[in-house]
Structure formats: structure tokens, C-alpha cells
Structure 1
């Protein structure tokens, strides 16, 4: 049977502000999110039988729960709503995005699979329901339904899609530390008290960079407290030539550096590999 190949892109939190914690223990956050050309590869095909065959491969396949993950949750929720009848799938996921890094690999996998099933199997799921199913899988999953620069507002997770392109030169460094999102958010004590004026919508790259340089990730302090190595990486990236700023993405542990040009980002990558030979590095351009 025909095999389909899907690219599942990673997300980058350029900024992340935590405003307050609700009684439900969920947090009210605001984040400017972009995507870059780092992606997992998912292959899907129909198979006979009643059981799905799901396989993870690649550099970052380890420590993923094989019985309960975002892929199994997508299949379960679609079957629960009777979108599939007696149909099993063979799904292979090549994990190129580090697991537990704050790069949203699992959420992206779920969103990519939802979009695939909806379009290729003609499920006719409207946007509202698609977002509802995505949210049931995970908080970040709806963000990944569209590969656009995105503002996650501090209004109960409302998502605003931005049409302007950022095209930032980015270096990603993953120190092989799996961060628990739940643990980091629960232990976080740093909150943004008031909403500042944003330049998310500017098409002037200089203004955008100047704005981003003044921003932060509120979770960085607690991540560095638990994992001091992350702080050393951030500082090292920041000191490299032509680096505008460096911080963690999401709840960590991946660190990002935004550079004025790709050549400097590549040079920084070489220096980091020399100083931290066991760390994984990647250079790309954001959308």
C-alpha cells in the first residue's frame, strides 16, 4: 500500500513570559514562536489487521514511551470519535528533534499526523474541532497545526498567526538533558507582572531584533538552577561573534543563539563542539 512521508518541524520559543498560575495548575503564558528547518520524518501507511505498528528510530528515539505517546494519542482520539473504522496503520517516526529539549518534537508529531489524516483521508474535521482534538493531546499541539510565526497570547492560550517572516539565523545547542515541562513549570517562581508593548508585528528586522534582545524566557532561571550546565552554554553562545542574544527555548534544555549572519552561527557551532564535544548542535534559518 502507498506510503506517505511527512515532515514534522520543531518550534522555537523566541520569548516566553509566565504571567500567573491558575487554580488548575495551568499557567497563563505569552510566547513568540517560530519554526526552523529541523524536523522529524514520519512515514504512514495503511496495514491489514487490528493493531497499529508504531516504531521510533533515529538519534533521539530513546526514552520515548512506546505505549503512550503523542502518536498513540492521535490515533486513540480519532477512533474515539469514529473517524477510523477497522483500519490500522504502520507509522515510523525518525526522531531528529531532541526529546525533552523544549523544541516541541512530540507536539509537532501529533499536529503533523492530525493534519495528514484530515487531508489525505478526507476526514472533513473543521478547524475548531481539529484544535480541540489537538489541545486534548497537549498544550503545544495546536501551535504546530500551522507552520507560521505565532504569538501565543496571555489570554487563555489564544493563538495569533503572524504573516511576516523573521528569517533569523539560529544556532541550537542541546546538552543531552531531558527537562520535564511539568517539573519546570511547577518549580518556577519567576512571573511577569505586566504586559509590555510588543514589536511582534514589525516588518523591520532591526526593530524586531532590538525588541527580542530585551525580552527573556521566564523559565530560564529555574532551568539553570536545576541544570547549571545550561547556564554555561547560554553564556558561551552569547559571547560568540555577531550573536544578538541567547536563551533557552520552551522549558529547556535546548539553548538558542540568534546571529546576524549564518557564517557566524556556523563558526560558533564549531567552537561549541570543540568546548562541549558531547552536545548536539544545529544551525538553521527560521521562517
Structure 2
């Protein structure tokens, strides 16, 4: 069984509060891109995890990996052999670990003929796991447990860029000037007419983690400057807690040309273009 784990992209991410237990409250617009990791699952007597792919270096193959914890969330002693093929950058703000865990949950549920674990079990794996398990465009609120489908999205293509510098999530949240900010503005009930109208709406939103992340990792600012200056790029922002940034495009050709140019001028960067999944 082969399961796709698409990259998660936070088009907007507002930090709206902080609970007494330290968890931050979010209001985020989450979509998924047609680029990601892959998992291959097969029956086995015990749980085994191995890794391959161009981004496998440094990724653990034990319980530190969210895929392993996803398997444990079923509360069963059943086994499986899981091969995780890594293509997304580690600690990149595009949900690589959470997307992998969500793909493992879907695959193992089918392999073992079991229902998916409940919301509490999903959140215990990671705050982004529920939305990644949903696998479709969502508005995500609370600590990740409140999920609402988005109005229809227009066709959109994305260029994802990571300068190769890991961004530590904890220090980024700690460096926030305020954790009590406004939520997302109202969305059009019928959705956005086209990519330009969505980009205009996004202009009234934020990623509250972008400013502190740029202080910690200045390379993020350089990536955003280059993305935003590309012809045809409608909107550029950092995803999640960083350091992957995205540029939105109305056409596949424009995104592909932009990605090709960035790979040529910055061969040390991780650059991918893809369609956003509906």
C-alpha cells in the first residue's frame, strides 16, 4: 500500500490566545500542495520503520518519529513494515512530520481494518495531525481541534522555497510580541472568484509567526523578497512557524518558470512548484 503525505501550507496563521497549559490558540487557513512524502505499508509481525528519499538524513526511525506514534495511537500490538520516503524538508513549517503521521493513520486504518483514532489521540501526536488527517482545505482553530471546510478555492499553484535553515518552533512562539491577536476576517460565503481575489483577501490576513521567525532566521526575509519580486507571483508569505515560504500563482506555467529560475539562481535552496489540492 502506497500513501501520499501532501505538504501542508498555512496561507494565513493568526495566534489568538494562549491556554493556561501553555498551548497557543490559532486561527489558520490551511491548504495542501501536490508535493510531499510517500509511505509504503505492508503487513509484518512487529512495527518497523525505515527511511529513504532525498530528505531522509537526520530523520529518526524510532518513536521520535510521528509515524511511529501514529501507529501507537491505534492502541494495538499489530505490526506493520513502514517505509517513509522523505521529500519534504525537516522542520520546515509545511507539516512534514504531521503529514507523514496522517498518511500513516489512513494507511494503517486500511491495513488493520480499524477506525481512525479519536481527536484526543490525534492531538496527542501533534497539533497539525487532525487537519492533515482531514487532507482538504480547512479553517483550523483552537489548538488544532476545530476544523471547518473552506468555501471553494479557485485554481491555484504554489512555489515552495526553503533556504535550508531549520527554524525551531519553540523559540519562534516564545518571541511573539503578543499572543492575543484578532482572528481571520470573514470569508466570502460563495468562495473567491479567482486567484487574484483570494490573494487580495489574504492581504488582510497575517502569519503572526513570520516576524519572530525572520529575526531568528534572516534567510526567510531573503526568500520572501525574491519570491515577491517574481513576475506573476500574486502573494508571498512564510508557512507555519517557518522556514518554508510560498508564492501563489494563477497559472501552472508561471509557477513552473519561477521555480526553475529560483533553482538556477539558488541551487542550495529546496524549491518545488505544485498545484494546490482541492
TM-score (norm 1): 0.88
Cα deviation per residue 1:20-66 (whole Å; 9 max; x = unaligned)?
22222211111101011112111111123xx4221111111122223
CA contact (8 A) 2:2 2:38 kept: yes
CA contact (8 A) 1:190 1:219 kept: no
Cα deviation per residue 1:85-119 (whole Å; 9 max; x = unaligned)?
xx322110000111110110111111111122223
* Secondary structure class of the residue paired with 2:20: coil
Which moves more between the two structures, 67-76 or 101-110? 67-76
Which moves more between the two structures, 224-233 or 158-167? 158-167
- Describe how 1:34-45 pairs up with structure 2 within 5 A: 34-45=31-42
Which moves more between the two structures, 222-231 or 254-263? 254-263
Q: Quote the Cα distance in structure 2 between the aligned partners of 1:195 and 1:71.
A: 31
Give ranges in structure 1 of 5+ residues lacking alignment: none
State the Cα distance separating 1:209 from its structure 2 match.
2.3
Instruction: Quote the residue 2:258 is aligned against.
Output: 268
Shift in alpha-carbon separation, 1:45–1:195, aligned structure 2, 3 A:
closer
Q: Quote the Cα distance in structure 1 between the aligned partners of 2:2 and 2:260.
A: 32
**TM-align CA RMSD:** 2.0
* 1:60 and 2:55 are equivalent in the alignment: yes
Task: State the number of aligned residues.
Answer: 274
Q: Quote the Cα distance in structure 2 between the aligned partners of 1:44 and 1:26.
A: 33
TM-score (norm 2): 0.91
* 1:204 and 2:193 are equivalent in the alignment: yes
CA contact (8 A) 2:41 2:107 kept: no
Shift in alpha-carbon separation, 1:226–1:117, aligned structure 2, 3 A:
same
Instruction: Quote the residue 2:268 is aligned against.
Output: 278
* Secondary structure class of the residue paired with 1:124: coil
Instruction: Quote the residue 1:99 is aligned against.
Output: 90
Runs of 4+ in 1 over 3 A off after TM superposition: 154-157
2:66 pairs with one of 66, 70, 76: 70
Q: Quote the Cα distance in structure 2 between the aligned partners of 1:139 and 1:23.
A: 16
1:213 pairs with one of 191, 203, 207: 203
State the Cα distance separating 1:192 from its structure 2 match.
5.8
CA contact (8 A) 1:198 1:211 kept: no
CA contact (8 A) 2:18 2:179 kept: no
* Secondary structure class of the residue paired with 1:167: coil
- Describe how 1:171-250 pairs up with structure 2 within 5 A: 171-191=159-179, 193-199=181-187, 201=189, 202-205=191-194, 206-250=196-240
Greater Cα radius of gyration, structure 1 or 2:
1
Q: Quote the Cα distance in structure 1 between the aligned partners of 2:82 and 2:170.
A: 28
Cα deviation per residue 1:142-200 (whole Å; 9 max; x = unaligned)?
00112211001258741112362342111000111112222211222244633353226
